[in-house]
Every structure is written in C-alpha cells, then in structure tokens.
Amino acid sequence: MPAKDLYHNTVKTALIKDGWTILADPLSLKIGGRDLFVDLGAEKVLLAQQKQRTIAVEIKSFLGYSPVSDLEQALGQYLLYEQLLQRQYPHYQLYLAIRLGTYQNFFQEEIVQLVLQGDRIKLLIFDEHEEVITQWIP
C-alpha cells in the first residue's frame, strides 16, 4: 500500500480511537459538474463526527520531492475545500492532518510559520507509529 493511503488509514484509526465516528470516507464534494474527489483522484478527505461537532480532515503525507511544493498543494486544496464547505456545509470544520515528524521539522520553518500566521489553517497532528492524534491546533 502506498504510504499516502497508509496515512489515510492511520488518521482514520486515530480518529476512531479518539471517539470520533467516520461519516464519510471519502467525503465527496460536488460543484458545477465536478466531483472534487474524483477529479483529484489522490488525497482523500474524511468526514468525522463527535457529539455535535463535525470535521472534514484533509490528510497530507508530505512525501513529495519538494516540501514547499507539497505545502502549496496542501494549502490550495485546503482553501478550495474550505470555500466549498462554507457554501454547502457551513458548520463543518476543516482540518489539515500531518504527521508529528512533519510538524516538528518542516512546519517549524519560517516559510510554514508565515503561511500559518497569514491564513486560517487548522491542524491535526498525528503519530503514525502509535496511530494516535497528538495535537489539535487550534
């Protein structure tokens, strides 16, 4: 199994351990004849619920040759999904899920800190070995 899909399942397991119910895997968002999941093919978004709270989770592996390019793709996808969700399901909160190692290393760099300050990205940090969520930001 490619690592990308592996992390998808890891986050799903971690969410279930944390008391969340998976409502959709993948979450399919349609707009003007396009299905975002089908069109993107790759990175799938999960939908999970706990009590009255529903979250959509974009899992980004950061396994590409350029972490900056991966950051751009993650950022673009996040903003696209956020706008679609605001229109169709305004009470869903969107999270970008990244590995603990990615958070502790690349995400501490100035370039990422700048992006995180400027935009309104919510992060979910997971430990891929323990298959648990270690942090929600904010």
Residues of this chain that bind a second copy (CB under 8 A) = 31-34, 36, 39-42, 66-69, 71-77, 79-80, 83-84, 86-87, 109-111, 114-115, 118-119
Burial of residue 48 (CB within 10 Å: 0-12, 13-18, 19+) is buried
Which one, 50 or 86, has the nearer CB to a second copy? 86
Tell which residue, 8, 39, 40, has the closest CA to residue 24.
Answer: 8
- Adjacent-strand bridge partners of 136: 124
Query: Minimum distance from CB of 115 to a second copy (Å)?
Result: 6
Return the SS3 of 49. Answer: strand
Query: Minimum distance from CB of 21 to a second copy (Å)?
Result: 28
Which one, 17 or 34, has the nearer CB to a second copy? 34
Determine how many CB atoms are found less than 10 A away from the CB of residue 32.
4
Tell which residue, 95, 101, 28, has the closest CA to residue 61.
Answer: 101
Query: Minimum distance from CB of 132 to a second copy (Å)?
Result: 28
Which one, 14 or 84, has the nearer CB to a second copy? 84
- Adjacent-strand bridge partners of 21: 49
Query: Minimum distance from CB of 93 to a second copy (Å)?
Result: 17
Which one, 24 or 79, has the nearer CB to a second copy? 79
Which one, 108 or 135, has the nearer CB to a second copy? 108
Query: Minimum distance from CB of 136 to a second copy (Å)?
Result: 22
**Whole-angstrom distance, CA of residue 45 vs CA of residue 15:** 13
